[in-house]
Amino acid sequence: MRGADYFIKRVVFAVVTVFVAITINFALFRLAPGSAVANLSRVPHATPETRAALKKEFGLDKSRGEQYVLYLKQLAHGNLGISFANQQPVSSNLRTALKNTIPMVLLGTLFAIIFGTFTGVISAWRRGTATEGMTLGTALTLYAMPTHWLGLMLIIVFAGTLPTGGMSDEFLINPSFTEHMQDLARHIFLPALTLGLVLFGEYTLIVRSAMLETLGEDYILTARAKGLKPWAIMRKHALRNALLPVTTLIALSLGYIVAGAILVETVFSWPGIGRAVYDAVLQRDYPMLQGAFLVLTVSVVFFNLVADLLYFKLDPRITE
Amino acid sequence: MRKTSAALFLLVTLAAGCGGSSSSSQEGGTFKIGTSSRIDSLNPYVAFNQDAYSTFMYIYPFLVQYDKANQKFAPDFAKSWSSSVDGKTWTFKTLSGAKWSDGQPLTAEDAAWTINTDVKYKDGGAANAAGLIAHIKNAEATDPNTLVVHYEAAVGNVLAQFQQLAILPKHIWTQHLGKSGNGLKTWANPAPVVGSGPFKLTKFKKDEIALFERDPSFYGPKPKADGFGLRMFSNDDALVAALKSHEIDSIEEVPPTAINALQKAGFVISDVPGADQTDFIVNSSPNKKSHPELQNPKVREAFDNAIDRKQIVDVVFLGKAKPAASIIAGSSGDWANPSVQPTAFDIDKANSILDGLGYKKGGDGIRVANGSKMSYEVITPTDLSSANRTFQILQPDFRKIGVQLTQKALDSTAAFDAMTAPNGKYANFDLALWDWVGLIDPDFMLSVVTCAQFEGWNDSGFCDKKYDADYSQQQLTPDQAERRDLVWKMQTYLQQKKPYLWLAVLDHVGATSKNWTGLIDSPQGPFNSLSKLSLTSVHQAG
């Protein structure tokens, strides 16, 4: 029963979090200096009547309270609204942007998870050796590097070899499936690598730290005393126990995948969700911002919930 | 219109034609242009960005376009035109046998429908086109090749307005009017777009690519290239790297810092006077109560003398600009008043003017006017890339005349809100930096300082009844020589009143691979909304 209680509590907490976030999202953008009205009403030679008509058309003539109620009603019907900027449904704008973002960010994140965990383990296992110095130095350097700068350097280094930006070569005429896939791979390589390298540093440092903590535990000493092989100690006793903080980090990373990576997307002209949100902020495109942040909130809360539930499974102390 | 918010606000500018003559030419190929701008929408009732309007120029018919020199009007869909003696009726003879890209006939009826729809819904779905149909009563197609437009009064810029008005296919758009014309704003008009131009827009991915393919059924001169593409970059360094590695053939607008490198790398650089001007705005609103000295023309004259335009040109724009003087830039040709010249940099004169007004310097070197320090906040929009360096030049020079400037950086939306606050009264802000990109016809630029544009395009709070009367009169003066004299007079008047202290007019610099030639120089660019000439002429070098 303790397990059911835990599960229900986490789910209720997640739902409340999403609702609070929805409300804050609504208020936050309207508190920022500047308003959507300023942009929308700036039509050349527009008469005051024209501007008033535009405000009415976008529902901006209504009070904040009325706008909020309207927003909640639309949301309850699964309608995220129409973008002020391009007059298209927000859900359609978000779908396009997410479809572009997720493969690139996922690839970069997976790269970081796999290689970061591996180097973190090696770094902790070889503590005090040149290997640790090298892996730690590399991780710190990459972690400290500004993402956009690293991206620009990679563009300059690989200019002429790999594409400088975009998702695919749109000038290719009737490419075969293989050609198309090769083209996509060439385009996704640098942005995913940039993101992956920066996250790699973070993963290495956290895994190393968690591993070092675990390696100092008594049960590791016991395992050594029992004469277990070093790799078995590492895999079965140290790594499994060190994975708890890593699980949180992975869950958070996966949650943020839908947020995209504004800097990487900007440097590589990647038409993803990060850039869409940035443009929406500049244009005070409230429906788009609300929609994007709703998706982000739900995603982060969902993966946190998954992490909580995994903890329940991974860490028996929670049920005690 | 703003170039910076050109991201947002529309209608003009871009890269320069890359001129260049070729002794031999080769047909075919796809000309690839790189840009850091965007096509924000394919719907003419929604779009604001310049690249969107350039797209419309190449995929839709217009009654007229500009000639090669971008100064006179030339035929497009209308082969000839005339006006009645009283100037209230204009008759356009359109080309016969023209077709839309879906094979339907393109006639004067499409033009009449577009104009009448814009008139009918100008306060709603067609608000974006409201300025282009000012004073029009209605339009009719008396036969498939004759369009007659009726005006409430004789208008002075009929052709300039029609040069910007895309004719839309009636058989497509009637299906999307929606309730009370609101559908005009909500339809995406997705690619492939039904149009009638030298090129068809066959593929469009927002913020990525627009691909244009030669339309063999076009009523006008056939393009030499098979097509062209506009690839959108969100990073200037990546854009330049793409040209260097020949991923693209041309850059619409080259960042000043990359010009030398591209020239050395063997690219053809085109450098023509542009229409983008930076300005130092002095709040001229009659509602402003604080710092009343800012309303004094002598104070503005002193400020004008404290601006080192040469340094701004050399340092901020690396020499790729010229000192600016008037609201109408030289790229507008004859409309620019040659007698309005940039004010000379003269700190001594500025000090002497302020001394003469009795504004004495305090112990901290800052003058006191009307009991308060001459210390002002300068709003700078963050997307005006030249703003910070320009401010860094202005600040120490103004300190020398006993005026303290502090910078307040805001994004363009917040900046405009701060300038118009509270409630469109323009009562709070002191000074601001921004820019404007003008059209060839002066009407739009002259309108931005009218009372009617409060909360619209007006960003200076300037509202002057005498000026407004002149503005209306120039709109209703059909005789172009007479209108030009009036436009010149208005520029002189603005130079005296100084709502804007003009800083620099930027060159338009483009870069193109030597493999392509034939682009036509313009203050806008190879891909512009002035005419269909540039990209129909571009071809591979032999």
The residues pairing with B409 across neighbouring beta strands, listed in sequence order, are B380
Which chain B residues are Cβ-neighbours of A53 within 8 angstroms?
A: 123-124, 127
In 3D space, the residue among A129, A115, A110 whose CA is nearest the CA of residue A205 turns out to be A115
Contact A274, A101 (CB under 8 A): yes
- Give the three-class secondary structure for B449: coil
The tens digit of pLDDT for each residue in A56-111 reads 766 777 788 888 888 888 888 878 888 877 778 889 889 988 899 999 999 999 99
The tens digit of pLDDT for each residue in A178-207 reads 998 999 999 999 999 999 998 999 899 999
Which one of A49, A156, A166 has the shortest CB-CB distance to B208? A166
Q: Which of A29, A40, A45 to mutate to test the interface with B (most CBs of B within 10 A)?
A: A45
Ranking A295-309, B284-298, B482-496 by mean pLDDT, the lowest is: A295-309
Which one of A38, A152, A155 has the shortest CB-CB distance to B413? A38
CA B459 – CA B420 distance, rounded (Å):
7
Mean pLDDT of B214-238: 92
Confidence of residue B6 (pLDDT cuts 50, 70, 90): very low
CA angle (B426 as vertex; B422, B432 as ends), nearest 5? 120
Supply the pLDDT for residue A127.
87
Which one of B9, B32, B43 has the shortest CB-CB distance to A42? B9
Percent of chain A with pLDDT over 70: 89
CA B357 – CA B403 distance, rounded (Å):
14
- Give the three-class secondary structure for B288: coil
Mean pLDDT of B350-379: 95
Supply the pLDDT for residue B21.
37
Supply the pLDDT for residue A48.
61
Neighbours of B66 (CB within 10 A): 24
Q: What is the largest CA-CA distance in chain B?
A: 79
CA B72 – CA B416 distance, rounded (Å):
35
8 Å CB contact of B247 and A167: no
Supply the pLDDT for residue A50.
62
Q: Over the Cα atoms of chain A, what is R_g? A: 24
Q: Which residue has the tokens 């490419």?
A: A175
Contact B275, B524 (CB under 8 A): yes
Helical ranges in chain A per DSSP H: 2-31, 36-40, 48-57, 64-76, 90-125, 130-144, 147-158, 177-215, 218-225, 230-232, 240-256, 262-267, 273-282, 286-314
Supply the pLDDT for residue B523.
86
Which one of B128, B245, B414 has the shortest CB-CB distance to A160? B245
| Chain A contact present for B127, CB below 8 A | yes
The tens digit of pLDDT for each residue in B314-358 reads 999 999 999 999 999 999 999 999 999 999 999 999 999 999 999
Q: Which residue has the tokens 């393919």?
A: B213
Query: How close is the nearest chain A Cα to the Cα of B514, in Å?
Result: 18
DSSP designation for B367? B
pLDDT greater than 80 at residue A38 = no
Which one of B8, B9, B247 has the shortest CB-CB distance to A164? B247
Task: Quote the mean pLDDT of chain A.
Answer: 84
Confidence of residue B16 (pLDDT cuts 50, 70, 90): very low
Which one of B185, B241, B418 has the shortest CB-CB distance to A159? B241
CA B352 – CA B354 distance, rounded (Å):
6
Query: How close is the nearest chain B Cα to the Cα of A187, in Å?
Result: 12
Supply the pLDDT for residue A60.
72
Query: How close is the nearest chain B Cα to the Cα of A169, in Å?
Result: 9
The tens digit of pLDDT for each residue in A265-297 reads 888 988 888 888 888 887 778 888 888 888 888
| Chain A contact present for B124, CB below 8 A | yes
pLDDT greater than 50 at residue B386 = yes
Contact B345, B307 (CB under 8 A): yes
| Chain A contact present for B232, CB below 8 A | yes
The residues pairing with B105 across neighbouring beta strands, listed in sequence order, are B99
User: In angstroms, how far is CA A319 from the centroid of its own chain?
Assistant: 30
Residue of B nearest to A39 (CA): B413
In 3D space, the residue among B402, B357, B409 whose CA is nearest the CA of residue B387 turns out to be B409
Which one of B130, B232, B414 has the shortest CB-CB distance to A45? B130
Q: Is the ipTM of this complex over 0.90?
A: no
| Chain A contact present for B389, CB below 8 A | no
Question: To which H or E segment does residue B57 belong?
Answer: helix B50-59
Which one of B234, B235, B410 has the shortest CB-CB distance to A33? B410
The tens digit of pLDDT for each residue in B434-457 reads 999 888 999 989 999 999 888 778
Supply the pLDDT for residue B42.
92
Q: Which of B119, B128, B235 to mutate to test the interface with A (most CBs of A within 10 A)?
A: B235
Residue of A nearest to B210 (CA): A170
- The backbone torsions φ and ψ at residue B138, rounded to the nearest 5 degrees and listed phi first, read -170, 175
8 Å CB contact of A86 and B46: yes
The tens digit of pLDDT for each residue in B394-420 reads 999 999 999 999 999 988 778 888 898
Which chain B residues are Cβ-neighbours of A32 within 8 angstroms?
A: 414
The tens digit of pLDDT for each residue in B21-65 reads 333 457 889 999 999 888 888 999 888 778 899 999 999 999 999
Supply the pLDDT for residue A36.
59
The number of helix segments (H) and strand segments (E) in chain B equals 16, 22
CA B116 – CA B147 distance, rounded (Å):
12
Q: What angle, rounded to 10 degrees, do the helices at B387-400 and B347-356 form?
A: 60
Q: Which of B1, B165, B179, B237 to mutate to test the interface with A (most CBs of A within 10 A)?
A: B237
8 Å CB contact of A156 and B124: no
Supply the pLDDT for residue B464.
95
CA A135 – CA B231 distance, rounded (Å):
40
8 Å CB contact of B244 and A51: no
Residues for chain B: how many in total? 542
pLDDT greater than 60 at residue B536 = yes
- Give the three-class secondary structure for B521: coil
Supply the pLDDT for residue B25.
55
8 Å CB contact of B185 and A87: yes
Which chain B residues are Cβ-neighbours of A281 within 8 angstroms?
A: 411
8 Å CB contact of B241 and A265: no
Percent of chain A with pLDDT over 90: 25
8 Å CB contact of A57 and B124: yes
Query: How close is the nearest chain B Cα to the Cα of A269, in Å?
Result: 5
CA torsion B239→B243→B247→B248, rounded to 10°? 90
| Chain A contact present for B265, CB below 8 A | no
The tens digit of pLDDT for each residue in B73-112 reads 999 999 999 999 999 999 999 999 999 999 999 999 999 9
Supply the pLDDT for residue B20.
36
Q: Buried (b) or exposed (e) across B436-449, using 16+ Cβ within 10 A?
A: bbbbbbbbbbbbbb
Which chain B residues are Cβ-neighbours of A48 within 8 angstroms?
A: 455
User: In angstroms, how far is CA B42 from the centroid of its own chain?
Assistant: 18
In 3D space, the residue among B112, B130, B133, B131 whose CA is nearest the CA of residue B122 turns out to be B130
DSSP designation for B481? H
Task: Quote the mean pLDDT of chain B.
Answer: 90
Confidence of residue B134 (pLDDT cuts 50, 70, 90): confident
Question: To which H or E segment does residue B460 belong?
Answer: none
8 Å CB contact of A50 and B123: yes
